[in-house]
Amino acid sequence: MTIQQPVPDYAAARQAMVDSQLRPQGVNDPLVVQAMGSVAREQFVPEQCRPLAYLDRAVPLGDGRSLPPAAAIGQLLTAMALQRGQSALVVGTDPGYAAAVLEAMGLDVTATRGPIEKSHMSGGTYDAILIDDAVEQLPGDIVNALSDGGTIGFASLDRGIFRLTVGRKSGGALGLRSIADNTAAPGAGVNRPRAFTF
């Protein structure tokens, strides 16, 4: 006798994510909400993890990687105040979901996969950069790839605490601000060299 498991209603789970995770955590940009409500998050995780795709937590992808919580991505994209037609770069060990959301928002997206410090920049600049890993410091190549007036979003790792951080580049300088603490799991980001301690 074979017992069939019911197929989860992913469309309903996606709507519940919007209503119970995104909106209560300040994700209120209509462009972001519409995109995240339309992109099938379950398609970006291993099949055995698909029932977990819409939980309010990071979803394991294997090899120490994870898909950040949807609300974390939504908060970053809302704070970045992106516009249709802008160019965007998504950098990370598994940038597929974030890139799909940005494409659904109407941005022209380039995605690079791999550790951030080894990402190959095309030599051009972008209106927006989203880092899909937690980092302790930003590599100069990433900052150089951001156009003047452009915005960047990432989870910064500061003494064990993940802070959702958004920055704007102006006159060649990058100003950063923390928008929220988060429980996002670290990816293969950039680590500062360890300082000498006694």
In the structure, how many helices (H) and strands (E) does the chain have?
5, 8
Is 4 within a domain?
no
How many domains does one find in the chain? 1
Range of the domain at 86: 10-182
118-162 confidence digits (pLDDT tens): 555 566 899 999 998 888 888 888 999 999 999 999 999 877 788
Domain containing residue 91: CATH number: 3.40.50.150
Q: At what angle do helices 70-80 and 30-38 cross, to 10 degrees?
A: 150
SS3 72: helix
- For position 18, what pLDDT does the model report? 97
Element housing 10 (H / E): helix 10-17
Element housing 133 (H / E): strand 126-135
CA end-to-end distance (rounded Å), the chain: 64
| Dihedral sign of CA atoms 47, 24, 166, 37 in order | positive
Is 75 within a domain?
yes
Is 2 within a domain?
no
Q: Render the burial of 42-69: b for 16+ CB within 10 Å, e for the rest.
A: bebbeeebbbbbbeebbbbbeeebbbbb
Is 105 within a domain?
yes
180-191 confidence digits (pLDDT tens): 887 554 444 544
Residue partners of 5: CB distance under 8 A and separation at least 6:
none
- For position 198, what pLDDT does the model report? 39
1 band by pLDDT with thresholds 50, 70 and 90: low
Nearest to 56, CA basis, from 23, 17, 95: 17
193 band by pLDDT with thresholds 50, 70 and 90: very low
User: What distance in Å separates the CA atoms of residue 125 and residue 16, rounded to the nearest whole number?
Assistant: 36
pLDDT above 90 for 35: yes
Report DSSP state, residue 155. E
Is 140 within a domain?
yes
Is 108 within a domain?
yes
CA geometry: angle at 140 spanning 138 and 145, to 5°? Answer: 100
